[in-house]
Amino acid sequence: MRFEPEEIGEVLEMLLFRELDIRAVTLSVNTLPAVRPRIEDLLTALEEVLTPYLKRLRPAVERVATRLGVRIVTVRLAVSPVSILLEPLGDRDAAVEIAKHMDGLAEKYGVDMVGGFSAFVHVGASRGDRALMDALPEALNSTARVAGFLNVASTMTGVNLDSVKKAAELVMAMKPHAAARFAVTANLPEDVPFMPGAYHGLGLPDAVVNIAVSGPGVVEAVVRNLPEADVRTLHDAVKRAAFKITRLGELVGREVARELGVPFGSVDLSVAPSPKVGDSVAAILEAMGLPRVGAPGTIFALALFTDAVKKGGAMAASTIGGLSGAFIPVSEDAVMARAAAEGSLTFDTLKAMASVCNTGIDMVGIPGDASPDAVAALIADVMALAVHLDKPLGVRLVPVPGAKPGDVYELGGLYGSVAVVDASSYSRIPLVSRGGTAPPGVERLKKG
Amino acid sequence: MVSVLGADRVGIVAGIAGVLARHNVNIVDISQTVVRDIFSMIMVVDISKADVDIGQLRRELEEEGRRLGVLVGVYHIDVFRYMQRI
């Protein structure tokens, strides 16, 4: 097979100068064989289930990265929802122990994050769910690599306001670095490779490899090279770039799965940003012709981008999975963070953006003394969008003690700098205290 | 696939080719241009009979690149096959 120098040059430019890399290889493992009625036995069994995979995971990823010459930024593990392991125990202290044990295993085997410290409570909470929820702040505050979520809404069952309110209380009890590893979600798919949404879904086999791609810099360069193009031409160019980016994820997924001897799951085609310059989704929107992300036109631009990424990426992956849309985490995207710090991105703008992407409100700082009512109501708004638009969305807020709107809190690494935004001028919102589950909408009825 | 990018100077091709020959790496295809004093070379090489693996070859080529003051990249051909062919 021969390649034109231009074709080779294009790929080299993406890899060398446009920050094209693979965001994450996420190995998803069924940990339900470790269910035991005693915590000591459970921890031993959990280690027995995970160790054969963990021993091989990082070496396999490094072999593939070396062979291909492609950067793979993070190596992650997803486990079955820990709430299920807790059903026989029903004990919050046991939940904290499980989190610490998984944290230790991840560190020992060079795994950057472990996802699945999670529960599905979109209709109500069971014994294991309650133990997990009670443990969440301490479990995440006292670990560095464990991530989790509470799924509090679904198209099929509606929005559970009791779970929303509980989730808001839990977030407010977390330190910033812990809150960055926790999301409140709706309609979470079973094969998300991104954190904190990753867990091993109930429909999956013993283990699968899922891939998260990156590469906003590639798309930004394409858009900047087309200053005069109409939006249809722009859409087509973004689609072509998304194809190539996702294709790299497909290649890495196949190779890592082969190395590990486990099935290849899916590629999440979302083009994930990072706080690095030249790795921003918001910069793509601004390159399309916005003075700042958040300005009028933002929703139009984001919808155009999301649609093009989906259409290009879908063709490139043998199967798509996870969230597969567009990510606009505020702190993890330097241009989003700047707009939030300047005040051009508010919660209202982010909610509107959530209607045309798959993120929701992600990685936004709030004052540590923000009203729990306001936080719960904000989460409820995003959950309602998810249920009535029938798609996955999440809320990941970072309470910063002593901070005021406009302050910036440095989390570092892939998390970036968190801009603190005013949660609400209203401190009491009695609606959230009504509790109960809002019924599913007509999207549910369409499904029969 | 070996790519070399940097300021033009005497000995770039010789230096890179020397590392390849030392490890029994066969050059299958080579294209080279100099635009505005920027040297650019792309080589397709076969490492099936090489005495080192791709990781070691990359390290040695990068080291030679640093000596020559050029940027060297080594990639598997599958990256280009996946991204540029349907």
In the structure, what pLDDT confidence band is assigned to residue B33 with cuts at 50, 70 and 90?
confident
Q: In this structure, what token pair is assigned to residue A438?
A: 């809002």
User: Residues of A with CB below 8 A from B5's CB?
Assistant: 12, 16
Ramachandran class of B69: left when φ > 0, alpha when ψ lies in -120 to 50, beta otherwise: left
Decide if A442 is inside a domain: no
Decide if A446 is inside a domain: no
Q: Locate the chain A residue with the closest alpha carbon to B33.
A: A5
Decide if A150 is inside a domain: yes
**Chain B nearest CA to A206, separation (Å):** 28
Q: What is the mean pLDDT of residues A280-289?
A: 97
Cβ proximity of A326 and A357 under 8 Å: yes
Whether chain B has a CB inside 8 Å of the CB on A431: the answer is no
Indicate the residue type of B25.
V
Q: What is the mean pLDDT of residues A85-105?
A: 98
In the structure, what pLDDT confidence band is assigned to residue B4 with cuts at 50, 70 and 90?
very high
Contact across the interface for A70 and B3, Cβ inside 8 Å: no
Q: In this structure, what token pair is assigned to residue A187?
A: 């309609």
Decide if A186 is inside a domain: yes
> pLDDT: is B37 or B58 the higher one?
B58
**Chain B nearest CA to A325, separation (Å):** 20
Decide if A322 is inside a domain: yes
Decide if A419 is inside a domain: no
Q: In this structure, what token pair is assigned to residue B51?
A: 């005495």
Indicate the residue type of B7.
A
In angstroms, what CA-CA distances link A260 with A207, A212, A380, A400?
A: 10, 17, 41, 40
> Which pLDDT belongs to residue A350?
96
Decide if A370 is inside a domain: no
> Which pLDDT belongs to residue B51?
96
> Which pLDDT belongs to residue B35?
80
In terms of residue numbers, what domain contains A8?
1-328
Q: Locate the chain A residue with the closest alpha carbon to B76.
A: A68
> Which pLDDT belongs to residue A4?
86
Residue entry with tokens 């094209």: A20
Q: What is the mean pLDDT of residues A233-249?
A: 97
Q: Is the pLDDT of residue A430 over 90?
A: yes
Whether chain B has a CB inside 8 Å of the CB on A240: the answer is no
Q: Which fold has domain B2-84?
A: Alpha-Beta Plaits (3.30.70)
**Count helices and strands in chain B by DSSP H and E runs:** 3, 4
Indicate the residue type of A382.
V
User: Residues of B with CB below 8 A from A251's CB?
Assistant: 78-79, 82
Decide if A193 is inside a domain: yes
Domain tally, chain A: 1
Give chain A's mean pLDDT.
96
| CATH code of the domain covering residue A286 | 3.20.70.20
Quick: pLDDT tens for A115-174: 999 999 999 999 999 999 999 999 999 999 999 999 999 999 999 999 999 999 999 999
Q: Output the pTM of the full model.
A: 0.95
Q: Rounded to 5 degrees, what are φ and ψ at A146? A: -85, 135
Contact across the interface for A8 and B58, Cβ inside 8 Å: no
Q: What is the mean pLDDT of residues A438-444?
A: 95
- Residues ≥6 apart with Cβ < 8 Å to A101: A43, A46, A47
CA distance A119 to A295: 37
CA distance A214 to A224: 18
**Residues A406-416: b if buried by 16+ CB within 10 A, e if exposed:** eebbebeebbb
